[in-house]
Structure 1
Amino acid sequence: MDTPIQPAGKPPAGVTSNFVNPPYDGTRFAVVNAVFMPLAVIAVLIRIWTRFAITRAGGLDDYLMVFAVLCSVVITGLTVTMLHYGLAKHMWDVPITDFSPHFLLLNLLSAMLYCAGIGATKVSCLLLYLRIFPTKKFQIAVWAIIAVAASYSIASVFANLFSCSPVAKSWDVSILRGHCMDRPRFYFANAALGIITDFATVLAPMPLIRGLQLPLRQKVMLAGILVMGGCVCIVSIFRLVTISALQKSSDLTYATTDALLWCIIELNLGIVGGSFPALRPFFRQYFPGFLGGTSGRHTSRSYGYSRHQSNSNFRHSHKLASLQSSSIHTPTKGEFPIGANDSNIYSSTVGVGQTDNDSEEHIIDSRSPPFESQMGHIIKTVEYDLKVT
């Protein structure tokens, strides 16, 4: 005689367990994984190729993003496997042998990898800020946020691992001795702290960006990065709502679906947003028509001058002209505005890999030698007076 299948949870009054064709909500979960995880992988591949093959200026932030996308790939594998062990089904429709140890163990591993991956993503983005903005006070603030984000992410990994005593009690319901922490409440606190660091990461550079005098396209690019970060913040709030619902539900296999879904979206969207700065130089190098520029690497210089009227309160400026390195010409006295007492401005901007009127593309991405000391920084152009006698 066959042994009756024991459900993982007691069904509500009037409901019978269905182990053959139960209600299932896993299709959208599989679709989200199939869309967002490949986007994150592609973004990181472009980032790595750009940093190590094009600009040759890879750093710790790139390695952290690689680690984050590896976490994402493994999480996708684990969570899709969880669909076969009860995820997106009601607990009373899931056999206890599927729920424990398989569902519980895979859920624990997914939570640990999520904490590690999202922490690596945030720290990678913050390290990128250190490349871009060299201001001492700002860098101190960024290091403080890095310390908080890294500390609570590492602590979260170990908190998940040792959430029960003995540890195996986390996935083996047959172990009656020992105790476990309230994991949904821990997830809620973790999500709240994550939202705080998300907003800190997005808002930290805004005072500096607001004060910069940048071309419109450059501002649009920086704004796009911050908007992507804002989207991650919004997703984090949605995840917090789903965790709140998980706290109030005893139907763990079904209520976990939305919480895991928003975790996956948040992690992959953060990876894509963090890799966004590498997209422009990549397309400029290989698909110049996409951005309306030209390909290749060359050195360009801009020359120009403006005239100061000694007895006037205005300044007359001439548009700077871009010249190829092969046609660089130093202005002579006869080419300056007429007037023995005129003081003229001579300015030169030199960049590597730039095309005409596109110097803004290097605000974020790194530079090739011999400009490695400037990589990722915003370059300040200094004008100086040149008096011709």
Structure 2
Amino acid sequence: MSLMDCHNKGPGILAVIWSLTGVTTIFVAIRIYIRFFMIRNAGTDDYIMLGSLFLTLSNAGMTTANVRMGYGKHQKYLEESTVERIILINTISFAVGIASFTVPKFAVTSLLTRILIPSRAQRIWLWSLLGITAAVSLTCIFVLFNQCDPPRAAWERRLAREGQAKCHDMWILIKIAILNAVLSAFVDFYLAIYPSTVLMKLHMPLGKRLALCAALGMGTVAAAMAIVKSTEFPDMASQDDFTYDTAELVMWTIVESNVIILASCIPTLQPILDLTLRGAPFRTRGPQGKETNYNSAFHFTGVKTNRRSDRSATHLESQESILDEHQKNSHPLGAIIRTDDVSVEYNSRSTQNLPDRHTTWHIG
């Protein structure tokens, strides 16, 4: 085995990104099948997720093309023209990579605002946070393509060496990229923790609350990936071995975008899980043993309270479901609403010792 083969990161990078991207593609395909065909209640977040997957696949495709040209190998083993093509494609893939981990956040936020129904102030805060993140990401992309005059000097680096171009200090771009990564990590973490602050207040068994919080909180993994990625940015300043030093940065960027997409897909897969485990994803037993439609991705029973007096007894059962209160004619998966089933019973006895009279109202 030659020295070049011993120091080639390319095959390992491709193994990681395509393994994860393959899993992500499968999860998105299942999500789309559920939302478009099983429950026929696709939302804006589903379309955004399709766009996010396209960006991730594009980034993985460009990285694959680069690896075939020699990306991941030490620069000294490559011809200068090859290095220039690699840096050009790498610059484009960096821009696509920034979009690929920014766009999914809009899908996650759209999903959360639909199923958790936050207050107006909370919605403003969530979307403002997303707006700031998008602005920083666009700034990073702008600086990426305008770090040199003319811009092509960013990949044709001989122009700067020959005095035909002027480039800004690379650390300006690196600092903005680190800021973008840290902000991205914060947003991912916030979007993962925010559902827990709502769900833990619901009246349902603790185990079920924790399971739902875990399903909606997978974004914490994406936040960790963003932090790991931020440690790789200083390698962008590499001038002598760019094709080798920046390889992990590309890998972690694709890993982060995949994890965000996976995190947003997991909460939507309950119907498939129910089909696998029970064989009937949308049927459940209702009152008197009758079958009714299974209308929730997560179906929980809350606390029952009893109050009795001489004349009345009231039983209150609360259920919390992920439903869509705005789409009454479609499958009701999509938002959390509260349904109260109240049974009021009273017994009245006349003074003439007549048989007991029993009347029941059921309010659904």
- With normalisation by structure 1, the TM-score equals 0.74
Provide the alpha-carbon RMSD of the alignment. 3.2
1:36 is displaced (CA, Å) by: 0.6
Secondary structure (helix, strand or coil) at the match of 1:380 reads strand
Kindly indicate which of the two structures has a greater share of residues assigned to strand.
2
Unaligned runs of 5+ in 1: 1-17, 303-320, 327-336, 350-359
Q: 1:165-197: per-residue Cα shift (whole Å, max 9, x none)?
A: 322222223432232452333322321222222
**How far did 1:348 drift?**
8.4
Which one-letter code corresponds to 1:370 in the other structure?
Answer: K
Q: 1:214 aligns with which of 195, 201, 204?
A: 204
**Which residue, 52, 72, 88 being the options, matches 1:105?**
88
Counterparts of 1:91 and 1:250, CA distance in 2: 7
Partner-residue secondary structure (3-state), 2:312: coil
* Alpha-carbon distance change, 325 to 278 in structure 1, aligned in 2, over 3 angstroms: closer
Determine if contact 1:235/1:266 at 8 Å carries over to the other structure: yes
Distance 1:233 1:275 in 2: 16
TM-aligned CA deviation for residue 202 of structure 1? 1.9
* Equivalent-residue separation in structure 2 for 1:249 and 1:223 (angstroms): 45
How far apart are residue 213 of structure 1 and its match? 2.1
Shift of 1:92: 1.9
Query: How far, CA to CA, are the matches of 1:243 and 1:210 in structure 2?
Result: 38
1:40–1:271 contact (8 Å) kept in structure 2 = yes
Q: Is the 8 A contact 1:90 1:251 kept in 2?
A: yes
Cross-structure match for 2:253: 263
The verdict on how the C-alpha distance between 1:369 and 1:184 changes in structure 2, with shifts beyond 3 A counting, is closer
Matched with 2:23 is 39
- Which residue of 247, 258, 280 maps to 1:295? 280
**Identity over the aligned pairs, expressed in percent?**
21
Aligned ranges for residues 79-118 of structure 1 at < 5 Å? Answer: 79-100=63-84, 102-118=85-101
Letter in 2 for 1:78: M
TM-score, normalised to structure 2, is 0.78
Corresponding residue for residue 8 of structure 1: none
Q: 1:207 to 1:187 in 2, by over 3 A?
A: same
SS at the partner of 1:88? coil
Partner of 2:37: 53
1:376 to 319, 334, 340: 334
| Structure 2 Cα separation of the partners of residues 19 and 173 of structure 1 | 26
Query: Deviation at 1:243?
Result: 1.8
CA distance in 2, matches of 1:192, 1:249: 25
State whether structure 2 residue 192 is matched by structure 1 residue 202: yes
- Tell me the residue number matched to 1:329: none
Contact 2:196–2:213 (CA under 8 A) maintained in structure 1: no
Superposed, which structure 2 residues align to 1:6-155 within 5 Å?
23-100=7-84, 102-136=85-119, 137-155=121-139
State whether residues 57 and 368 of structure 1, in contact with CA within 8 Å, keep that contact through their aligned partners in structure 2: no
Q: Is the CA contact (8 Å cut-off) linking 1:88 and 1:254 kept in structure 2?
A: yes
User: Higher mean Cα deviation, 29-38 or 242-251?
Assistant: 242-251
What residue is the counterpart of 2:344 in the other structure?
Answer: 386
Matches within 5 A, 1:145-184: 145-175=129-159, 176-180=164-168, 182=170, 183-184=173-174
Task: State the shift of 1:25 in Å.
Answer: 2.1
CA separation in 1, counterparts of 2:228 and 2:174? 15
Residues 308-341 of structure 1: CA deviation (Å, up to 9, x unaligned): xxxxxxxxxxxxx764359xxxxxxxxxx99861
Indicate how the Cα distance of structure 1 residues 154 and 380 shifts in structure 2: closer, same or farther if over 3 A, else same: same
User: Which consecutive unaligned segments of at least 5 residues does structure 2 have?
Assistant: 294-306, 349-364
